Every structure is written in C-alpha cells, then in structure tokens.
C-alpha cells in the first residue's frame, strides 16, 4: 500500500511535462516567457508578438508580425447564434465567466466544418493551430459583447485595423482608446499570458492529451479559471483597495484590517517566496498609466497600502515573507484603464488563452495521455443484496 506521505496532494512539486513556454523560479522571484525575462518582454512588445513567440519560439520580424496581426484580426467576429446566446445570458444576469465558457464553446459556429473543432476525429496539428488562433481572437469579442448586452447596449463590431488590446477596449466602450490605456492593457496581457502548469493550463493540456479539439480544451480551462482559488482574486483586491483609499488613511486602514483578523488580499503566493515578479511589472505599468492620466491619488494610496501591508504582515506573521502578488497590481491597473471589476477574471482569460493554446499545441507535438493514479480508500468487502432486502 502507498503511504499517506507518498501522495502528492494537488500534484504539488510533481513534474509531468517539459515546456519551452515559461519558467518560474519561486525562490528568486523570476519569470521567463519564451526565453525572455518578464520585465524585458511585457512592456516592450504587443500581445500579438507574445502570442507569436509562444507559438513559434521566436519573435516575429516586421512582415511576419503584420501578416500575423491581419490573420488574428480577421477571426474576431462571432456568429449570430453565439451573440443571441450571449444576449440571453446577460439578460439572465449570469456572471462573465459562465458566459465566456458558453461563448468559447460556440466559437466555431459558422466556420469551416472541415477539420474544425468539435468533430469526433483526431485533429492534425495544422487544424489545431488554426483553431487556436480563432479561440484567441474571439475571446475579447465574447467578453465585450456580453458586457454591452448587460449594460443595455448593442455589441460593437470588432475593427480589424486595431491591435488586439486596443480592439478589446474599443468593443467595450464603442470609443477608440487612448494610447496610455492600450499600453497598460498590452502590458497586462503579456504579463499573465503564461505561468507554468497552473490549474487552468494543466486542465487544457489534460484535455489536449486526449486528442480532443482546442475549443474543448479552452472551454475546460475557462471552467478552471472561474474558481476563486485560481482567477478570482483581483476583484476582492480592488474592493479592499477602494475601501482603504476612501478611508483617507491607508496605514490605519490596513492595520485595522489585520488587527480585526481580516485577510489582506493580494499578498503572498503559493509559488513565490518573494515578491511576485508580475507585481513588479504591473506596478511600473500602473505608475506610468496613472501619471499620464494626471490623477495619481488612487495609485499612491495603493502603493502606501502595499508598503504598510508588507510591514504589518511581517509583524503579524513573523518568519513568512508575504509580499504583493499579481492580483494586487492587476486590480490597480485594470481599474485605472477602465475595465469593469466584473470583467477582471474574464480579462485574465483573454490573456491566458494565448498560453493555454500554446500548451495544447506543445502537448500534441509529443503526446501522451495524462493518466495519473488515485489511491483507493473505500470499502472492499461489500456484497450485493436485492433492493427490498437493504
């Protein structure tokens, strides 16, 4: 029999795959995306370039990038049947992640049936790659259409002349976004596009390992991301930061929360024993955005909350180094850009689908179906009896 200590609960520290997509050093607080340190990549390239990097293992040249952008932009439209599903879901008040799951599952409606996701036959890598681009392209359209319906407006059709990040903001508001907002969102999308074998990415790879289609894998990943232990923290972080900001005294507000036994949201991470490198990148992006906007009050309040929070947590929990994680400055940056709080996790999905689909393709390059074991702990000596004798 297997000893209890031999069971890797949650598969923690179990290596199950090789990947060239991202590398995490939790002790040093380092994240590498496609060979580039995160801080070097995130603020300097477009989201399309990062997607290309994960797919091709290199950054594109100018002509390749133009062609890739054009291909991705041409896939943004969703079928009328999908829009009606989104309308009904919005009218019923369903949350964004439920609607995103529905929209992604229907992403291949109205497309070419030959080799498209949803068939019962094994897809070739070329078809998987094609469907992966469609999944990446339609997710912002799904989220934006849902939000417009929810607000009582009609969806805004995507524009092929705008980049991925700019088009997402445009579809949400109907207005062409300013450059500061686009650059802030672009940095965010690049920062969270991939992060090792987290729960949603592992879900996508498991589904891909069965030789299912990309839309099924992404739909499953969306379901995993919906869970509050994975993708749901930035919303509560924003609520906390707004309360702290409105108190007028960030230091007192933070310490009062801890003294009352409340949790400080946005601090600590299961992987990183130091500050999350994504927090550093997003902090810089948020600072740039708020300075350019001319209103830095909320950002300064958040930064003070971070400073006091780190100090107070060290006092309350000596021996543990609890610093800000990606959710903290995700909340600060997305709030400033104008992304509604209700769409924070869905916007996370808009970014992470680039990683999910790259992992699906990588899994299929040298595939073996994921099939771990479970230790049976139930009864073994039961005997069947007719229902009237039980």
Q: Cite the beta strand spans of 66-164 per DSSP E.
A: none
Which run of H or of E encompasses 98? helix 96-105
**234-337, which class in CATH?**
mainly alpha
Class for the domain spanning 30-228+342-365: mainly alpha
365 is catalytic: no
Which residues of the chain form CATH 1.10.230.10?
A: 234-337
269 is catalytic: yes
Whether the pLDDT of residue 237 is over 70: the answer is yes
pLDDT tens digit sequence for 283-311:
999 999 999 999 999 999 999 999 999 99
Q: What is the pLDDT of residue 142?
A: 98
- Of 80, 87, 134, the C-alpha closest to 108 is 134
Residues of the chain with CATH 1.10.580.10: 30-228+342-365
- Per-residue 3-state assignment (H helix, E strand, C coil) for 264-294: CCCECCCCCCCCCHHHHHHHHHHHHHHHHHC
Share above pLDDT 90 across residues of the chain, in percent, rounded to a whole number: 82
Strand partners, 22: 33
pLDDT for 125 beyond 80: no
pLDDT in tens, 56-104: 999 999 999 999 999 999 999 999 999 999 999 999 999 999 999 999 9
Q: Tell me, yes or no, if the pTM score tops 0.85.
A: yes
List the catalytic residue out of 48, 323, 327, 362: 327
Q: What is the pLDDT of residue 164?
A: 98
Q: Which residues pair with 36 in a beta bridge?
A: 33
Among the listed residues 269, 306, 335, 359, the single catalytic one is: 269
The pLDDT, as a whole number, for residue 120 is 53
d(CA 217, CA 203): 7
What is the structure's pLDDT at 115? 40
């Amino acid at each position: 029999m297997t000893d209890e200590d031999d069971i890797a609960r949650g598969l923690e520290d179990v290596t199950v795959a090789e990947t060239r997509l991202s590398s995490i050093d939790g002790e040093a607080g380092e994240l590498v995306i496609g060979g580039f340190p995160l801080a070097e990549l995130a603020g300097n390239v477009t989201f399309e370039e990062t997607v290309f990097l994960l797919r091709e293992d290199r950054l594109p040249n100018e002509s390749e990038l133009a062609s890739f952008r054009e291909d991705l932009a041409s896939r943004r439209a969703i079928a009328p049947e999908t829009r009606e599903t989104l309308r009904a879901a919005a009218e019923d008040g369903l949350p964004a992640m439920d609607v995103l799951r529905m929209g992604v599952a229907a992403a291949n409606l109205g497309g070419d049936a030959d080799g498209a996701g949803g068939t019962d036959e094994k897809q070739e890598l070329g078809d998987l790659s094609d469907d992966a681009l469609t999944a990446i392209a339609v997710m912002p359209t799904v989220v934006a259409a849902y939000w417009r319906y929810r607000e009582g407006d009609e969806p805004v059709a995507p524009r092929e002349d705008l980049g991925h990040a700019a088009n997402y903001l445009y579809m949400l508001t109907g207005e062409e976004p300013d450059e500061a907002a686009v650059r802030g969102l672009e940095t965010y999308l690049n920062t969270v596009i991939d992060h090792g074998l987290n729960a949603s990415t592992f879900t996508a790879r498991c589904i891909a390992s069965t030789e299912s289609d990309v839309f099924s894998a992404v739909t499953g990943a969306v379901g995993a991301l919906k869970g509050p232990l994975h993708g749901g923290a930035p919303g509560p972080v924003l609520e906390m930061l707004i309360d702290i900001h409105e108190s007028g005294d960030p230091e007192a507000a933070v310490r009062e929360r801890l003294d009352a036994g409340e949790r400080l949201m946005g601090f600590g991470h299961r992987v990183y024993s130091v500050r999350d490198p994504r927090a550093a990148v997003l902090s810089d992006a948020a600072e740039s955005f708020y300075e350019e906007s001319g209103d830095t009050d909320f950002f300064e309040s958040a930064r003070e909350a971070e400073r006091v929070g780190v100090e107070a947590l060290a006092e309350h929990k000596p021996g543990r180094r609890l610093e800000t994680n990606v959710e903290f400055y995700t909340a600060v940056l997305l709030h400033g850009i104008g992304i509604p709080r209700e769409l924070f996790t869905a916007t996370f999905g808009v970014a992470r689908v680039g990683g999910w689909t790259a992992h699906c393709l990588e899994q299929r390059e040298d595939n073996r179906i994921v099939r771990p074991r479970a230790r049976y702990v139930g009864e073994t000596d039961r005997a069947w009896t007719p229902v009237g004798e039980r």
